[in-house]
Structure 1
Amino acid sequence: MKSFSKLSVGVLILLHTVNLAAQQHENSRMYNPQNPEKMPITQIQKNKETIYKLYIDCLNTGNLDILDQIISEDYTTDYKGKKVQGPSGYAETVKGVLQGFPDIKFTIEGMIAENDMISVQWTFEGTHNGSFFGYPASGKKVINRAVAVFRLEDGKIVQNRVYPDRLGILQQIGVIPDLQAPVSERPNTKHN
């Protein structure tokens, strides 16, 4: 009887090991934008591909003409106190950043996907060479970090919220003093 229970435990451990190996193999087949043809694409992976396309193919190039491939006609969000809809509404929400930082480059630091939701942590770098929400060009290099949360349906974005470090941008372009900088380096401050 003892050898039967040892055998049962051994079989359970073996089955658990095989199951873990299968899970690791499936995880290794997750979407990789550098080599997408090697993997089967699930809906979550298609949604991730849509997000990569938004940042890499659209925002990094300024090619807003492809928004209809990424943003649903059903897209809605509140922007500056009004509701915007569809690809043209989304374009309205990003034009100010693209005009203010014409050399903008987004880097996706990470993504978490669950069902129809994707959270993205990104960094952008750019030079403030254009008007940005009414602030004239400063010529200063800026680095900004944010988290964005997207909801997708049928592979297109229908909602999003972006949580950027706007204070950091305004400090970097000299609109708001950086209180951690020495007084002599703060814009618009007087010292004796």
Structure 2
Amino acid sequence: MAGLEANSRKVAASMVVDLTLPPLGIPPPSGRGGCQSASVRYQPGVVDMGMGSATLVIVNEVRGGTTMSSTAEENKRVVRRIRDEVEEQGNLDAIDEIFTEDVVTHTPMGEFRGPEAIKEMYESDREGFSDSTETIHDVIAEDDTVSMRLTERGTHDGEFMGIEPTGKEFEIQTMAFFRLEDGKVAEWWMQPDTLGFMQQLGVNPEDLSEAVSAGDD
């Protein structure tokens, strides 16, 4: 506890207990025993190191001077920018801020590298589905990885990967996983319901495969 005082670390806790401990920072007087009653109580964001009392604090694991919880929250914030700024606002310039220069993107249609490839992907999506939206349901972060569950919706009102517009709407569930390095996304795995997507648009999977192959040539 004295170390917490020395570091002036302000963190949050979630419990209140009473215990007996020596006065903090003061050695017990000779012959008088080593402990006295102390009330230990949670106060949000405050470490009270007063004599005879202390605030018991549950500290998250610390790496590089930053708590793991704060790093996880920052990683989630970075990942949410993809939906908020790129998908919803159409700000493709934000991709350079969100992703590393050598980012690797894994999709059911193949793997590609770099921010420019991600920009091309969003441009293609915008041409094929001008009203596309994403609804985020869950975002979970641990260490350098963030997972996300979302719903994608849109209308196929433009050419998409060689498929002429069908005018049909789609709504699919998607899972995505992101690995971050130094506050940027370095790797991205997309797990959309590709079969459900094609069925709702009335697209033959073979036609889509042929379009992907033609695009790679």
Equivalent in the alignment of 1:70: 98
1:60 matched to 2:88? The reply is yes
TM-score normalised by length of structure 1: 0.66
- Cα displacement (A) at 1:108: 0.7
2: distance between equivalents of 1:78 and 1:168? Answer: 19
Matched position secondary structure for 1:123: strand
Equivalent in the alignment of 1:29: none
What is the correspondence of 1:1-16 to structure 2 with a 5 Å cutoff? 14=17
What is the correspondence of 1:3-152 to structure 2 with a 5 Å cutoff? 14=17, 42-77=70-105, 80-81=109-110, 83-85=112-114, 87-152=115-180
- Cα displacement (A) at 1:155: 1.3
Residue ranges of structure 1 left out of the alignment (5+ in a row): 1-12, 27-40, 178-192
- Cα displacement (A) at 1:66: 1.3
- CA shift in 2, pair 1:94/1:109, >3 Å: same
Contact 2:170 2:200 in 1 (8 A): yes
- How many residue pairs match? The answer is 148
- Percentage of identical aligned residues: 35
Equivalent in the alignment of 1:180: none
1:162 matched to 2:190? The reply is yes
> Match of 2:73, as an amino acid?
Q
> Match of 1:84, as an amino acid?
R
Contact 2:149 2:173 in 1 (8 A): yes
- Cα displacement (A) at 1:119: 0.6
Contact 1:142 1:173 in 2 (8 A): yes
Matched position secondary structure for 1:44: helix
Structure having the higher Rg: 2
**Which is richer in helix?**
1
- CA shift in 2, pair 1:165/1:78, >3 Å: closer
1:116-175 alpha-carbon deviations (Å, 9 max, x no partner): 000100111111111122211111111121100100111110001111011111111111
**Which is richer in strand?**
2
Contact 2:102 2:113 in 1 (8 A): no
RMSD of aligned Cα (Å): 3.0
